[in-house]
Amino acid sequence: MRFASLGEEGSQGPGHSSHRMPEGPELHLASHFVNEACRDLVFSGCVEKSPISRNPEVPFESSAYHISALARGKELRLTLSPLPGAQPLREPLALVFRFGMSGSFQLAPSDALPPHAHLRFYTAPPSPGLALCFVDIRRFGHWELGGKWQPGRGPCVLLEYEQFRENVLRNLVDKAFDRPICEALLDQRFFNGIGNYLRAEILYRLKIPPFEKARTVLEALQQRRPSPELTLSQKIRAKLQNPDLLELCHSVPKEVVQLGGKGYGQESGEEDYAAFRAWLQCYGMAGMSSLRDRHGRTIWFQGDPGPLAPKGGRPHKKKSKGAQQSPEDKMENPPPPSKAPSKTRRARRGLPEQTTAQQPKRTSLQQDPGVSPVTEKGKRRGRQASGFCRPQRIKADTSSLETEGTSAS
């Protein structure tokens, strides 16, 4: 048996130079991987959590059970279903995972677990035993018991297209659409499954400036109606030839899923990664420009950034064969800002003094669940926020849906 992983956005290994965070397609592929890998496997015993994970314990034990998965947007539900006659008698248990910045599922020999395997499900004897592992190098991913999708998330762009489209167009009065379209696309209340690389590819294909006002872009779609004189085949052809932004929010993630492969983690292989890299047209590509949005996420684009571009922000153009650092390293994990110049230095350079009022506020549903809300706290508390503190009770992550901003997936 060949062991594999799916869903990881981590390093591609020594020969790779780029990686990305898990978005809707990666979660969908991860669910497919789990279902395929575990289809003929029987698991048994307790679910084992690593001692350093701050996620909740999983109170499940069974002498024989199956595992299945279902993805929706940037979440994945894992269901543990006891087999008939299994002991002790109990109901199925469901967990909902959000992958954060580096989550993945891997199937590995139980006596050779991968590093950072924070939740383990072991197969029943006979040997050799296997373990399905939730692997998370950066520990921003988490799971919750009960199987309920995160409240406030919109319909999935992949699996619930009609509901997704209706939800966006019905809510254009929401203040989220006062913002640039590149930021609105990361709001998981409306674009559940869209992340950093997808927003760049979608806007690039339509030649929409990333910092155009979201409402301006989307209001036109409310009036878009095909001519009643067109036949059904003509309407379908017109839609395929001239898709709008919401249609691309559905079809572009589908393209990534159709690339197939085992994923884009350390064991995904050069071939899988090369296929994804060849598919990209904008994200991190040579000749494209980039700017940071107000949440620190890098948006890649071509041409004019749009009227709501950050004041004073200067687009950076990607060179054909530039620095060693990957585009994703620069985007998904922006370095912490350097210390602000002192008042004296600011005065010498003619810079205005920065006040706390100038710092953009991040509202709860605007943050991608992929980023730990303790990031800033960690800077002050040192080791405590890095995962070495006492386990804490995890609250429902409704605070992080609005801008996937500093995230995720």
- Summarised one tens digit per residue, pLDDT across range 71-82 is 999 999 999 999
Task: Report the alpha-carbon distance of residue 168 to residue 174 in Å, rounded.
Answer: 9
- 82-91, 123-132, 135-144, 228-237: the lowest-pLDDT one: 228-237
For residue 63, pLDDT over 50 is answered with: yes
In this structure, which amino acid lies at residue 387? G
**Mean pLDDT, the chain, integer:** 78
Q: Supply the pLDDT for residue 252.
A: 97
Task: Report the alpha-carbon distance of residue 388 to residue 247 in Å, rounded.
Answer: 44
Task: Report the alpha-carbon distance of residue 290 to residue 314 in Å, rounded.
Answer: 9
CB-based contact 121:151 (threshold 8 Å) = no
CB-based contact 158:24 (threshold 8 Å) = yes
Q: Supply the pLDDT for residue 224.
A: 64
Q: Supply the pLDDT for residue 48.
A: 97
**Enclosing H/E stretch for 289:** strand 289-292
Task: Report the alpha-carbon distance of residue 96 to residue 78 in Å, rounded.
Answer: 6
Residue 180 is classified by DSSP as B
Known catalytic residue: 23? yes
Give the percent of the chain with pLDDT over 90. Answer: 60
For 367-390, what is each residue's pLDDT tens digit? 454 444 444 444 444 333 333 333
Q: Which of 8, 9, 23, 404 is catalytic?
A: 23
Peptide bond before residue 126 is cis, with ω within 30 degrees of 0: yes
116 closest CA partner among 130, 104, 128, 100: 104
**Beta-bridge partners for 44:** none
Task: Report the alpha-carbon distance of residue 56 to residue 277 in Å, rounded.
Answer: 36
Q: Supply the pLDDT for residue 313.
A: 76
Q: Which of 8, 25, 26, 74 is catalytic?
A: 74
For residue 355, pLDDT over 70 is answered with: no
How many C-beta atoms lie closer than 10 Å to residue 389's C-beta? 14
Burial of 85 (0-12, 13-18, 19+ CB in 10 A): exposed
Q: Supply the pLDDT for residue 239.
A: 59
CB-based contact 61:139 (threshold 8 Å) = no
Return phi, psi of residue 396, to 5°: -60, 135
Known catalytic residue: 74? yes
